[in-house]
Amino acid sequence: MSSKVKVEIAEELDFEVGDCCIIIKPNGSIGKLILPEVNSDTVKTKGYKKMLEVVDMLKPGSGKAIDEHEYKEKRNLH
């Protein structure tokens, strides 16, 4: 049985197209990553690179794995 979470975004948070969101569970593990469509422009942004750093900090090796996955999926993003 799954339960739905009521999502409420505070007015102070300004989400824009291209933003990334990392859901961190109470135990500190990564729950989900919410990413924009990843294309060759996305992987060049400071935001994408920072997201990879944060994910890698929470789960070592996962930032590189995400980047490699996107590279394989889209072929020659970098």
Exposure on the CB side of residue 46, measured as CA atoms within 13 A:
0
Exposure on the CB side of residue 30, measured as CA atoms within 13 A:
18
Residue 71 covered by a domain: yes
What percent of the residues of the chain are helix, what percent strand, and what percent coil, each to the nearest 5? 35, 10, 50
Residue 54 covered by a domain: yes
| Total structural domains within the chain | 1
pTM: 0.65
Residue 21 covered by a domain: no
Residue 73 covered by a domain: yes
pLDDT at 1: 47
Domain span including residue 56: 37-78
Which segments in the chain show pLDDT lower than 70?
A: 1-13, 74-78
Residue 56 covered by a domain: yes
Residue 26 covered by a domain: no
Residue 67 covered by a domain: yes
Residue 28 covered by a domain: no
